[in-house]
């Protein structure tokens, strides 16, 4: 294996993995690397890791989902090379700067809903939607969904049973230990995300898991006075105790609050949906295997000292090796502003004095 990635600094650490910032030595672009220790994984955990990788391969072409570039495996480690979102977590921005205006919240929430809609249309549920798993690009013009460790496949009229995700964002049916409809559980979590965006706090904030469970199962939460009635209406119709009565994604996108103009975008909801449909597969090598940049293929072959057929085969087969990674990184960097330029970066400023915010904070 050709080493084309240089490890720089540690970004985060979990039970089985560490995430590091890295730089591609040939094109000098930053990427993130998730390093997983094989010896820490039991058979079931390894199976889930393989599922996570498979899901990332399936959905990474969407512009609001963090992109997987390369999978490296050895006897000791599995390493996932992914897109690096330099803008950081939505969670950190809200913690440091307070809630967003409804207009700016709407701008980003459109993108979040579109990413989830894309997952569901591909038979995948995320199951860990939260502000920590939503990352900003460096220019703050896009938000991207990350961390598919709890994601799973589903089929219509089938139910899931695994309790997973983050408790403050979890739907009531998960706390009850029931089998649940995955997409409907994601809708509840989306409602919590929207609440946090506009309020700067969690709707349910118990000191213990048991107290949090009690609050969630009651389903009662306060919406601050500065939130518009339309926004409150949308939140309350996403966070309904009965999963069957929750809004679906289409109802969310067609809600009057979502149809209102955003200061960050001149596009209506309908235009936003059309735009996302056109741009979701902006990574041209993923979905049109015949549309390959031959000059780029030749350049990669020269840089890595291999024949061009090796590179071409990697791209067409989506091998997620060093050749595919380099091709995709160059393609993404050159197409990041393709088709339509993003709107100006919206300010992330509190819309009310801190004294008017809820006590509990994220």
pLDDT at 183: 96
Look at residue 160 and tell me if it is in a domain: yes
Same domain, 188 and 222: yes
- 141 & 246 share domain: yes
In this structure, are 107 and 75 located in the same domain?
no
DSSP 262: B
Residue-level pLDDT at 261: 82
* Same domain assignment for residues 249 and 146: yes
In a domain, 170, yes or no: yes
The Cα–Cα gap between 154 and 168 comes to 23
pLDDT category at 335 given cuts 50, 70, 90 is low
> Are residues 225 and 150 both part of a single domain?
yes
Q: Is 171 contained in some domain?
A: yes
Residue 342 inside a domain? The answer is no
| Any domain includes 344 | no
pLDDT per residue as tens digits for the range 179-210: 999 999 999 999 999 999 999 999 998 889 99
Q: List, for residues 237-278, the tens digit of each pLDDT value.
A: 999 999 999 999 999 999 999 998 865 544 444 444 544 454
pLDDT above 90: residue 97: yes
Residue 219, CA distances (Å) to 166, 211, 283 in order: 17, 13, 41
Same domain, 166 and 226: yes
Rounded Cα distance, 52 and 148, in Å:
6
How many domains is the chain partitioned into structurally?
2
* Same domain? 97 vs 157: yes
In a domain, 100, yes or no: yes
Q: Give the mean pLDDT of 223-235.
A: 97
108 shares its domain with 156:
yes
**Which residues make beta-bridge pairs with 81?**
33, 70
Residue 70 pairs in a beta bridge with 81
Is 119 in the same domain as 255?
yes
Same domain, residue pair 271 and 287: no
For residue 52, the domain's CATH number is 3.30.200.20
Mean pLDDT on 223-244: 97
Cα(98)–Cα(273) distance, integer angstroms: 28
User: Which tens digit of pLDDT belongs to each residue from 2-38?
Assistant: 445 656 556 665 667 888 899 888 988 999 999 998 8
Enclosing domain of residue 131: 88-277+350-356
Q: Is the pLDDT of residue 346 over 90?
A: no
Cβ contacts of 170 within 8 Å, gap of 6 or more: 185, 188, 189, 216
Answer whether residue 362 is part of any domain. no
Name the strands in the sheet holding 5-13, side by side, starting at the edge strand that comes first in the sequence.
5-13, 17-24, 30-37, 77-83, 68-73
Report the run of H or E that residue 269 belongs to, with start and end.
helix 269-279
CATH of the domain at 152: 1.10.510.10
| 177 lies in the same domain as 234 | yes
Sequence-distant (≥ 6) Cβ neighbours of residue 296 within 8 angstroms:
327, 330, 331
Catalytic positions, written as ranges: 128
- Give the integer Cα–Cα distance in Å for 343 and 264: 6
pLDDT in tens, 274-331: 444 543 443 434 545 568 999 999 999 999 999 999 999 999 999 999 999 999 999 8
What is the pLDDT, as a whole number, of residue 263? 56
Q: What tokens appear for 36 in the block?
A: 């997983």
Among residues 174, 171, 167, 125, the alpha carbon closest in space to that of 149 is found at 125
**341 lies in a domain?**
no
- Cβ pair 16, 40 in contact under 8 A: yes
Residues 210 and 269 in one domain: yes
Between residues 263 and 79, the one the model is more confident about: 79
Single out the residue of 152, 148, 144, 151 nearest to residue 66, CA to CA: 144
């Amino acid at each position: 294996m050709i080493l084309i990635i240089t490890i720089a600094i540690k970004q985060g650490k979990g039970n089985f993995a560490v995430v590091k910032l890295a730089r591609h030595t040939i094109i000098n672009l930053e990427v993130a690397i998730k390093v997983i220790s094989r010896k820490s994984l039991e058979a079931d955990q390894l199976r889930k890791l393989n599922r996570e990788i498979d899901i990332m391969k399936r959905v990474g072409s969407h512009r609001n989902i963090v992109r997987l570039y390369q999978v490296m495996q050895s006897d000791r480690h599995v390493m996932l090379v992914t897109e690096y979102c330099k803008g950081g977590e939505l969670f950190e921005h809200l913690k440091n700067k307070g809630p967003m205006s409804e207009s700016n919240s709407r701008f980003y929430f459109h993108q979040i809903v579109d990413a989830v809609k894309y997952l569901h249309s591909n038979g995948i549920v995320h199951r860990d939607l939260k502000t920590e798993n939503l990352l900003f690009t460096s220019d703050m013009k896009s938000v991207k969904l990350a961390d598919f460790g709890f994601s799973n496949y589903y089929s219509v009229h089938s139910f899931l049973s695994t309790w997973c995700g983050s408790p403050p964002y979890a739907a009531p049916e998960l706390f009850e230990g029931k089998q649940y409809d995955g997409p409907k559980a994601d809708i509840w979590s989306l409602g919590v995300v929207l609440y946090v965006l506009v309020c700067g706090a969690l709707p349910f904030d118990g000191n213990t898991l048991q107290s949090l469970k009690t609050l969630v199962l009651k389903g009662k939460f306060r919406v601050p006075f500065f939130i518009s009635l339309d926004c409150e209406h949308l939140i309350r119709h996403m966070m309904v105790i009965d999963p069957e009565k929750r809004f679906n994604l289409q109802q969310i996108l067609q809600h009057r609050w979502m149809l209102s103009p955003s200061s960050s975008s001149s596009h209506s909801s309908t235009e936003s949906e059309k735009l996302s449909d056109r741009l979701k597969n902006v990574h041209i090598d993923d979905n049109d295997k015949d549309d390959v940049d031959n000059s780029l293929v030749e350049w990669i072959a020269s840089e890595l000292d291999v024949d061009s057929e090796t590179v071409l085969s990697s791209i067409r087969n989506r091998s997620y090796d060093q050749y595919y990674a380099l091709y995709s990184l160059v393609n993404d960097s050159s197409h990041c502003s393709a088709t339509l330029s993003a709107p100006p970066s919206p300010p992330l400023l509190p819309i009310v004095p801190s004294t008017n915010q809820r006590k509990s904070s994220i």
